[in-house]
Each structure stands twice: as structure tokens, then as C-alpha cells.
Amino acid sequence: MGRRTRHAAFAAGAALIVAGCGGSTVSGTPEPSSAAPLSSSPIEGGLDTMLVDPSVFPAPYEAVVLPQQAAAAAAQDLDGIGADASVDPAGCKPSARGTAAGSTALVVGTDNETRATISIELTRVRDSLADQVSQWEQCPSVQATSNDVVSTVTTDLVPAPPIDADDTAAYRRTVTSGSGEVTQSMLSLVAQKSDVRITATFMSFSGDTPDSATLDELFTQSVQKVG
């Protein structure tokens, strides 16, 4: 469905938050859609060269680029579901992030006072963003179990941001513990250019209102730098 529209280790203890979202659990087993071929040739160059520099993050965010292995782990945290977790419904587990050099690039800015973070993630993908959106639509509420801890991850699609890319999407996500307390809340803006997916996420552990202005500014700069 391509469309053109206008428009560390994670710092220790840094958290990603998703603004509250609803969503009902789907019945049955979601089936992954067959990957649609990408509409254009892969973008040349390393993801690290396309990533925005930490210096573009405004105060109070102190930003750092994560090394590859830490970036893959932190990106999995942004999904709200760990690589070792089992999920219900089956078929709703996000793809594991690659740890090979060049597969993921991530810069994270942390507000040390509130613990809120804004992250910019670049990932090489082989499927269209429409395929990913389809999974989010089929999996609005997922129970994830890891080390006997059960969390509920809810994802709510919101209007996609207008920006010059092959496709765009946006969602709010919450991760709640078994006690029902919100542990993470996130707002993510996503764009795809050929085989590079750009995701900007505001995350908080305290339910703070997302810093939408800064998130949008960094997302726009990030998309413009790719390709």
C-alpha cells in the first residue's frame, strides 16, 4: 500500500512510555500477512550515517547513540514484549531485532528529571509498513509472560503523521503489570522509505503527557535524513 504524503545501553534505567490506549483482545490466532514486495530499491549507506546526531535533541533531553547489541535490546523494549516472552494470542509477538552490524541504529534522549525518553530507531526491513500495521490491527491487546511476570500490552492506532515517505503510521501503546498499574506508556510515529523504517517514540513511566512537539520535530528531521 505505498503512498506518498506531504509532509545506551539504553541509558540505565531509561524508560519508554506509551500514552494510554484501549483495545480488546482478539480471538483466535492472528496469521502474519505475506510480506508485500518493497516498491523501490534498498537505500544505500549505513543506518548509523542516516541517524540524527544526538546534538539535535533539545534540552532537557540528553541523547546518546547506542551500540548495536544494546540498540537491538532497547528496540525490543519499545515493543513492550521481550525477546524471551511468550504471548497470547499466539502470532502477536514482534519480530526479534537483529544484532548484526547495520541492522538497527538507535539514539535515545533522556529527561533525567522525569525519566521520560525520546528515541529514534532506524531498522532495515524486508516487508512494507502496511504489513506491520496489519499485525497491530490484529493484536490490539496482547498478554506477554516473561520470568513468570504477566504484562498486558495494548496498541491503539492513531492518525498517521503527514510526511514525505512511502508510508506512515502512528500508535499509542501501554504496558501494564499484573496489578493493573501502568508501567510504560508510549506514543510512536513511524515512516518507511524503501527498506528503512524510521520510528520515533516518546516513552514515560509516570503517565506524563507526551512531548508531542519535540517528538514531531525529531521525527521530521529523522525522516528527512534517510535516503
pLDDT at 218: 98
**For the chain, what is the mean pLDDT?**
82
pLDDT in tens, 83-97: 888 999 988 988 877
Residues of the chain with pLDDT > 90: what percent? 59
pLDDT at 180: 66
DSSP 80-103: TS-TT-EEESTT-PPPPPP-STTS
pLDDT in tens, 134-168: 999 999 999 999 888 889 999 999 999 999 999 99
At 207, is the secondary structure helix, strand, or coil? coil
The pTM for the full model equals: 0.82
Rg of the chain over all Cα atoms, to the nearest angstrom = 16
pLDDT at 22: 33
Mention the CATH class of domain 47-225. alpha beta
pLDDT in tens, 167-209: 999 999 999 976 666 688 999 999 999 999 999 999 998 878 9
Please confirm whether the linkage preceding 37 is cis (ω < 30° from 0): no
d(CA 31, CA 51): 33
Is the pLDDT at 77 greater than 80? The verdict is yes
pLDDT at 19: 32
pLDDT at 36: 46
Please confirm whether the linkage preceding 89 is cis (ω < 30° from 0): yes
DSSP 112-135: TTT--EEEEEEEE-SS-HHHHHHH
Amino acid at 110: T
Q: Are 168 and 160 in contact (CB under 8 A)?
A: yes
Confidence of residue 38 (pLDDT cuts 50, 70, 90): low
Q: Are 46 and 136 in contact (CB under 8 A)?
A: no
Q: Which helix (H) or strand (E) holds 172?
A: strand 167-176
d(CA 142, CA 156): 12
Backbone angles phi, psi at 41, to 5 degrees: -65, 155
pLDDT at 4: 37
177, three cell numbers: 503489570
pLDDT at 120: 98
